[in-house]
Amino acid sequence: MSALYATTLNTFKEMGWLYREIPEHSVIEADFEAHHAKIPLHVQVFGDTHIISVVSSATLQVPASHRLPVCELLMRTNKDLNLGNFELEWESGQVMFRTTNVFPPNRHDARIIASLVHSAVAEMDRLTPFLGEIIHTPKGELLLLKVADLMKREDLLPPVPDAS
């Protein structure tokens, strides 16, 4: 077991997150209850190169007929992100958010790992209602859908947490 994988496991334990381990691949999987959806998460550690990749997935599948407006949504969203990016697996219609970090040798910071997990879950949760609006638009009405206008809808965003 690499030191980075051990730190990642310890981070999940310290945060109290339930997870499934796939040790032969240095992978941790988990499901997070977020505001809009249950978010599946896949964390893979590449110990030799000190890289961690955190991927959250949408539970909604994008039908082939709706992939172009979803791609526009992802492209417009990615433009404003500081960390990570959204992807669409074209053949399956699976939407994912991926963020990766390269650590210096023997300097694996649990706070960074926890932040990557939080970001992946939060970003997917934030995107889910917009994705749902597109997916549930009837095929014949897709030409009328303006993704840029859809993205301005604040009623689809999760509430801002209390600062208290």
pLDDT in tens, 75-108: 999 999 999 999 999 999 999 999 999 998 888 8
DSSP letter at 142?
A: G
- At 8-28, the pLDDT tens digits run 999 999 999 999 999 789 999
- At 28-51, the pLDDT tens digits run 999 999 888 899 999 999 988 999
With a cut of 70, say whether residue 133 has pLDDT above it. yes
Predicted confidence at residue 68, as pLDDT, reads 94
Q: How confident is the model at residue 164 (pLDDT cuts 50, 70, 90)?
A: low
26 to 4, 44, 109, 152: CA distances (angstroms):
10, 6, 17, 39
With a cut of 70, say whether residue 147 has pLDDT above it. yes
Predicted confidence at residue 163, as pLDDT, reads 65
Q: How confident is the model at residue 69 (pLDDT cuts 50, 70, 90)?
A: very high
Rounded distance between C-alpha atoms, residue 134 and residue 142, angstroms: 8
Listed residue (134, 158, 157, 154) closest to 72, CA to CA? 134
